Amino acid sequence: MGGVKKKSMASMEKSQDSQEAGQEQAPAKAKKTKEQKAGPQQKRQLAFLPPKMSEAEMIKSLTPLKAITVNSASRALGVNASVATAVLRDLEAKQVLRRAGGFSGHGVWAVKS
């Protein structure tokens, strides 16, 4: 019932010109994609800027918190949530914090005593 409308002469010429130009550039484009995909991709490691305080100062600011979450740590350290997450994971890897609970990416940490 609802077929495609007939194109005007100008739009038909434009589409024909673009198709001809696409056919001329197609071999050069194919070579570029093969060259770009030649090497295996390496996983990038995103660097973050930790807060300008020592590890002891970070622990001192996190110790009064009963349950350390990403949001509470970001408020205590004065950084955004992504940096707080990285700091908490870093402190957990250094065995300073332990994971006390949480689920589905919403972790709860506690200071090891």
- Which residues, 6+ apart, have CB-to-CB distance to 110 below 8 Å? 67, 68, 97, 98, 100
Domain range spanning residue 75?
55-111
Percent of the chain residues topping a pLDDT of 90:
12
> Is residue 67 assigned to a domain?
yes
> Is residue 41 assigned to a domain?
no
Neighbours of 3 (CB within 10 A): 5
> Is residue 13 assigned to a domain?
no
Give the pLDDT confidence score for residue 108 in this predicted structure: 93
CATH number of the domain at 92, please: 1.10.10.10
Mean pLDDT over each residue of the chain, to the nearest integer: 81
Pairing mode of beta strands 106-111, 97-103: antiparallel
> Is residue 34 assigned to a domain?
no
pLDDT of 21 over the 90 cut: no
> Is residue 36 assigned to a domain?
no
pLDDT digits 0-9 by tens, 86-98: 889 989 999 989 9
> Is residue 77 assigned to a domain?
yes
How many angstroms separate the CA atoms of 89 and 98, rounded? 10
Stretch among 10-14, 34-38, 83-87 having the lowest mean pLDDT: 34-38
The number of distinct structural domains making up the chain is: 1
